[in-house]
Structure 1
Amino acid sequence: MSEARQAITYWLQRQQLSPAAAEQGLRLAGELPDGAAWRRFLERVFLFGGALLLACGVIFFFAFNWQQLPRIAKFGLLQVLLSGAALLAWHYSVATLKGQAALLAAMLLCGALLAYFGQTYQTGADPYQLFLTWSVLILPWVLVARLAAAWCLWLGLLNLALLLYIGRLGAGLFDGLALAALNPTAYALLFWLDLLALSAAEKAAAALPSRLLARFAGLLLLASLLPSLLTRLFAHYREHDQSPWMLLSYLAMLAVLAGFFAAYRRRRDLFLLAAACFSLIVLLTGVLIKWLLEWEPVEWMHSWLIVGLFLVASSAGAALWLRRIQQQWAADASR
């Protein structure tokens, strides 16, 4: 929210402006979209939505018609579509929305081609190699596109590849994910990867048109530290949990979670502040459950009642705190 919008919202909430005057002020400040702004928004939604749906349609088409088409037809059609999307991106230039949408579709079709190659030629490779190879092959396109959605795709592929690498003893994709989910080392590695990604995304935030990449990296970072801390809380201590590297990771996770509140209050990012509140509530709920399980005088029905009351109180408190923070930002913008 811009400073002008925050100031007008603050005056409106304090009844210093009428709704009509507030609407007029927003229009004069250029905060209300006009016909041209709505057209640009719809063009972007339909363009990128169409590219994503087309790529997904191609993937599901090959998955559904796996036996009906010969192999040469499948490979030929996938390569034609991939080449066509790349040529469209080159024709329109990646500086345009059409070129960026075409290049994003080419990145997704690259994964479809790799998946079909692995399905056709059973080489015995682990599932993580598919996502790692996919991320390596599209990296030049990601660098050229300078598109936040492309960077999010690339970062998501790296996270998935690392998670599957930790659980590579599984027979397949879902078995590998299940094994990795039980390993706190996997989430510790993901934590350091996503922490590095978030730092890079915040440094590059000024060059990007939106904070999509920074917010996506922040969500991945929170999603990696929570399971690791909860596993440490509930599971029996193992030898690798006592290693200096894992203990350093646990301390860094707690420091990062606390730092989220200070950093994104200063950056005025309400989305990541809300995500940090949710993560803290989940972690404190885990601590409360463990304490109730170890406290024998409390019956299990009373324990769930206490947990429910804590969730209601903490969620309401977080909502009120976020609301107060938003009003404070609006008051600062009005001065």
Structure 2
Amino acid sequence: MSTAEDPLLGRGDDPVLLRVEGRAAHIVLNRPRALNALTHAMVRRIDAALTAWESDPAVETVVLTGEGGRGLCAGGDIRSIHEDVTTGTGDATRAFWRDEYRLDARIARYPKPYVAVMDGVVMGGGVGISAHGSVRLVTERSRVAMPETGIGFVPDVGGTYLLGLAPGELGTHLALTGTQLTAGDALRCGLADHFVPSASLPALIADLAGAPVRDVLARYVRDAPPGPLADERPWIDHCYAAETVEEIMARLLADGSRPAKEAAEALLSRSPVALKVTLASLRRARGLGSLEAVLDQEYRVSCAALTAPDLAEGIRAQVIDKDRSPRWNPGTFTEVSDVDVDRYFAPLGAQELALAAGRAGQEQAW
């Protein structure tokens, strides 16, 4: 079947555009007005494409890009999540996360080179479909972040796995504050592999049609401009090594530096529950081993967040009403008990994501 006849490729107004050029297959996120935010339908379409291309000998490389010029993907469609939480049962969101997290795990294990072009804004769910890939490119325009605590949520899509692997306590700082990373710091934190100037991207992508990824990268990869985190490691490692959010806050305020003060101010604006659950998620993720096991944990946490007030309130304040004045419940760190935090990690029984069990079964079969 020729490319023009392939129903998988769809129409030009589809939210995910698919095409094959030479030896490279392309996934193009196509919701530029929403900064390519992911919907459930987009996740399913990407997964179907990966299934088809995995067994297609003509496809040697998969390339992920975003339309619109502003970024790859700003995350999940949180307006839909807000509507589901406030007027529905939350089941649609659970189903979306189930398929999204499975897609993230699949990308991490994909047997062909998966080139994620992380140009511009790459946040939340956008990190999930890019930073688990085998070849992750950033540019001078890249802004990479996991900003979930700002909407009363917790880093997901394997974010706690990736940030748990970052040097020192950089991942803890990024998870709690949602700080945006430039290219150099994304490389430093292990969320990207190579720096390519944005002006070189069209030529690089075109060359992938006719040459292996390694050969193409050799022509375009450059040294990234340095990011600020290298100089900030001392105070970050000291402050975020504390055992509790309260102690982290105390250390940040006592540090005296401007960046530490700004970090403390950021934490004071976040959901106290989200911060405490995020810290616990990161610390637990470091001991779980595999991405699949961490995604299983994140699914439990995410589902628990659907039944708590802060997620809907955070989305309301930041995206729906845009008053930027969320009313967190509880509103202080001291009101959030260990029991409150532990609730987010409770097993889901028959509703578990169970990616780790499936992965173990595959390995045993091999």
Structure 1 length as normaliser, TM-score?
Answer: 0.29
Higher Cα radius of gyration: 1
- Structure having the larger proportion of residues in helix: 1
Q: Give the structure-2-normalised TM-score.
A: 0.28
The structure whose residues are more often strand, as a share, is: 2
